[in-house]
A and B are shown apart, each in its own frame.
Chain A
Amino acid sequence: MITRLTDCRRMPRAVSFSENHTARVGSRSIYILPTGAGLVYGLLLVALLITAINYGNNLVFVLTFLLGGVGIAAMFRTWQNLRGLEIGMRPPKPVFAGETSRFPVILRAASRGPRDAIEMRLRDQPAVMADFDDRAHRSLNLPAVTRRRGYIEADCLIVSSRYPLGLFNAWTLMAAQARGLVYPAPLRGHNPVAGGSGDGFDAGSRGRDGEDFDSLRPYRRGDSLQRISWKATARARQIHTKQFGGEQARVHWFNWDEVPATDPEIRLRILTAWVLDAAARGSDWGIRIPGVALGPATGPRHRDRCLTALACHGLPLP
């Protein structure tokens, strides 16, 4: 039963996020139940009550009823810790499979009162604790361990708290719609073979500095910042990029069929490694995979577009 209550899919009262990606925890969407410690506390109260009745000792009655009242006051405090909390979540930056994606979250209070020890986590992911005053914002990152490439959804955010006494656990479920991209984990160790239209690596054509400087050309969007010739730029008042010998003809094409693997996932991982290496080198490259052909171009933006295509390959559109 407890798992059902913490399962976003089954709970109809999960709070949904509005269009500007914030949601507020309302009173109706907070569940509260005693914890194990809370149940033992209840037993303690029963034992104290029996002691008080048996000995007719009024001070033990006072103790029992005070502790009972404290338990109920704690329940209210725990409930109120969550109520009126506003949570904003935005999509995380893309990561590689196996790394931890971080969903940025902002906490804000719509009603007065400090919030302590609020625990937030995505379903099946590690938890993060936070506390803040009602006047401030609080930003934190919710970790989500990624395993496969593609999308990672923050479809179920569980916000809970046991403050102050740990006797009650209050929680609420939020259906966030933030989605993050997970690139395939690069698999190194396979060099692309020579072949295709003018592609293929040459060990000598790597590197930047000690290389044959060929010519200048005007800056194209996507050119690596490391290839900019600052002297020429200062002279001509226009950004020029250096170009190195033999580069013009050297466009690396990474083809799906030429990947030395059979499993499509492995193929994607190898292609990812190639793209990363090409981007680091600053050379032009293009990729051709079933359904998508990108390039030839260079630069971080081209790299990201290629990685996105590799990550989303074969997956249905969200």
Chain B
Amino acid sequence: MTALLGSRPLQPFQLRTITLITVALLAAHSWVEFTLVGLAALLTVAWRLIRDGLGRPAAGRWELWLFGLLGVAMLALDGFGSGFSRTAVHALSVFAGLKVLEMRSVRDLYAMVFVDCFLLATLFLVSQSIGMATALIAALVLLMALLVSANSTRKTADWRSLTGTAAALFIQALPLAVLFFVLFPRLGGPLWGLGLNKGAGITGLSDSMAPGNISQLVQSEEIAFRAEFDGLPPGPQDRYWRGPVLWQTDGRRWSRLERKSRADRDPGVLPGGEIVEYRIIQEPNGQRWILALDTAFIQPSGATLTEDFELLARRKIDARRTFALRSTLAAINARLEPWQREAGLQLGGGITPRMRALVARFQEDAADGQAVVNRALAHFRNQPFAYSLSPPLLGKNTVDAFLFDTRTGFCEHYAGAFVTLMRLAGLPARVVTGYQGGEINPINGQLLVRQSDAHAWTEVWIDEEGWVRVDPTAAVAPERIDYGLDVRGAISAGGLALFQVGQGSGWQQFLRQARWAWDAVEMAWYRDIVNYTAARQQRLLERLGLAHLGYLTRSLLAVAGLTAILAITALLVLFRRRVHPDALKRLYDRYCRKLARRGLARHAWEGPMAYSARVNADLPPPQAALSLNISALFARLRYGRTAGNGDMKRLRRLVRAFRP
């Protein structure tokens, strides 16, 4: 850029736009993770806006120093230990803020645009959703439009033409971008250390449960995870997804026992049990639970299977991840370890004589453990128990109050109470939390499980049978298992949960369809673009028949593709259509060509009358008269006010007759 061009001052609309975009990017960074450095950068930009508002935009040197020192101080406060990449991004934010403060000329605009492009890229490192991608691409088009405005001779901001030009460039860039995206090799791991991925907020199950926890979780419609089955998905009654298993209670709260994880021992799968192979696409939840179909028995790589058959990832899941799993729907023939017996019979406080009496009634003449279980379930079914998202508050003896006083609760109440009763009856029992159910997206066949499907059930140890799943909720509200809970209905009811059976009003149908369609789009986006790994690349190339190419051949192919695209673009540019002059101009051009053949070509600036005056000296009289007529007629038709149809015909005749 010549010195002259680069030091041109910026116009107000350019300043405003670039400042806004920079603010938006910095704010997005701060929203993802609030840091002092981000705050410092935003303050710097805010100062520029204040200055603009006061009408004195040029910042003095001392201000730059002040904000620079502020930024560096915040950088030091945030700590350098969070990784090189994060520190680099913070430094970039500080630099961006300072540059906005001292921005003045076109050269500064270019610097800002480039810095903003990089800030944009770092935002992609924390979120790859469709929404973020669309917003950032739009910001990118705006940035390029700003560059166009810096190179355009128009003074005012015609945003339509600026963004049109920029958008046209992007559309022309698409074939090249797609070609390189598909063919560029993906390395497995990083070139150097990461440190930028941030944990999403912790949603979902935790390793302890108190009354009200799950009913609170259930109110979110967010997707917890999705499942893809190779064959048919399991039926609703088998859709139990296992999360944390809770042993310990204090009468109210249930918590997980920290134990050694499972070594590779014989899982003890019963022969003949149905084995399901599937993939779980887990949403980030900031935890390590992988919610496998009950019961997973093989430990996939990168995960650990515990003795309670929980599946734990090695690291916290803070980005969407896919796991390939195998589960069996039959029971697992495990042994009861001594610690499990002890833990399975542990009782917290709050055991009342009423409860003991109730349990004694279950045990009366019971043949075995299963009979006790059945009697307890019958008790729940026959007595007026209700299932509600917002049950009355329970007092000190939680289980007692639930069993005899309120008799209203959500799955966590039922599970906790049931396990307590079983333990009182001498049967080891534990609470299992996880998810139950899920809806199938008819568009892509995936099973969608939301937070609203969170559930708690129990497992009871029956001799000769092992740990048997018992879902007390099923006793009370079987529809909940079969048809799924419509939380919206439940919330609006306030009291008892209402169950919707699949259908619903036309509007609800439409909403459901729309939700499925959107989910399918989001999944396609994730799978084909965000998760375009080396494996997927290989599969795509296989499908195109190019799988057996080495890197060299592939890069040659990419170069060939690039050359082809460039060649096509060049041809398109070269063979742009000529400007078609109108019929009148064509006639006059014919007249000029005839004269040009005689060596009397028209100069570019000569008007028709001047031209004819010049050439008439060299023409024989009849032709000179014709030439004068043609020029006069053309001038009248072109520049005069009146023109008749006959005039054009006359002109055509004259031109045809003209023979210089």
Interface residues, chain A, CB within 8 Å of chain B? 18-22, 27, 35-37, 40-41, 44, 47-48, 50-70, 72-74, 76-77, 79-80, 83-84, 86, 88-90, 104, 106, 108-113, 116-117, 129-131, 134-135, 139, 162-166
Contact = CB atoms under 8 A, between A and B. Distances in A.
B431 to A, nearest CB: 39
B152 interface: yes
Contacts of A66: 137, 140, 170, 173-174, 177
A79 B573 contact: yes
Given A35-B1, A44-B118, A63-B140, A57 B128 contact: yes
Given A22-B604, A55-B196, A58-B529, A113 B576 contact: yes
Contacts of A109: 579
B110 A76 contact: no
Interface residues of B, number: 67
A148 B153 CA distance: 33
B532 interface: yes
Interface stretch (B142-150, B323-331, B335-343, B432-440): B142-150
Contact of A41 (B114, B532, B578): B114
A63 B136 CA distance: 10
Contact of B574 (A20, A27, A61): A27
A232 B104 CA distance: 69
A113 B573 CA distance: 10
Contacts of B118: 44, 47-48
Given A68-B176, A73-B173, A130-B153, 15 more contacts: A21-B603, A48-B121, A61-B184, A63-B136, A65-B177, A70-B169, A76-B570, A77-B169, A112-B579, A113-B576, A117-B151, A117-B152, A139-B605, A164-B151, A166-B110
Contacts, number: 189
Contact of A20 (B180, B189, B579, B603): B603
Contacts of A88: 603-605
A54 B1 contact: no
Given A53-B191, A61-B181, A164-B151, A67 B117 contact: yes
Contacts of B507: none
Contacts of B191: 50, 53-54
Contact of B114 (A44, A50, A131): A44
Contacts of A55: 125, 190, 194, 196
A135 B585 CA distance: 12
Contact of B578 (A54, A64, A106, A112): A112
B345 to A, nearest CB: 49
A110 B173 contact: no
B601 A19 contact: yes
Nearest to A134: B579
A44 B121 CA distance: 11
B153 A116 contact: yes
B56 interface: no
B342 to A, nearest CB: 47
B579 A166 contact: no
B530 interface: yes
Interface of B: 1, 5, 110, 114, 117-118, 120-122, 124-125, 128, 133, 136-137, 140, 144, 147-148, 150-154, 165-166, 168-170, 172-177, 180-181, 184, 186-192, 194, 196, 529-533, 566, 569-570, 573-574, 576-579, 596, 601-605
Contacts of A65: 176-177, 180-181, 184
Contacts of B192: 54
A162 B1 CA distance: 9
Nearest to B599: A19
Contacts of B133: 59, 62
Nearest to B582: A135
Contacts of B532: 58
A160 B125 CA distance: 40
Given A66-B170, A162-B151, A112 B576 contact: yes
Contacts of B137: 66
Contacts of A36: 1
20 contacts: A18-B601, A47-B118, A52-B121, A58-B529, A59-B529, A60-B124, A61-B181, A65-B184, A66-B174, A67-B117, A69-B177, A80-B576, A90-B603, A90-B605, A108-B604, A111-B577, A163-B148, A165-B148, A165-B151, A166-B151
B128 A106 contact: no
Which of A104, A106, A116 has the most chain B CB within a 10 Å cutoff?
A116
Contacts of B189: 56
A48 B92 CA distance: 14
A154 to B, nearest CB: 14
Given A80-B573, A90-B605, A135-B579, A58 B153 contact: no
A129 B125 CA distance: 42
Contacts of A72: 173, 176, 566, 569
Contacts of B194: 55
Nearest to B533: A56
B185 to A, nearest CB: 9
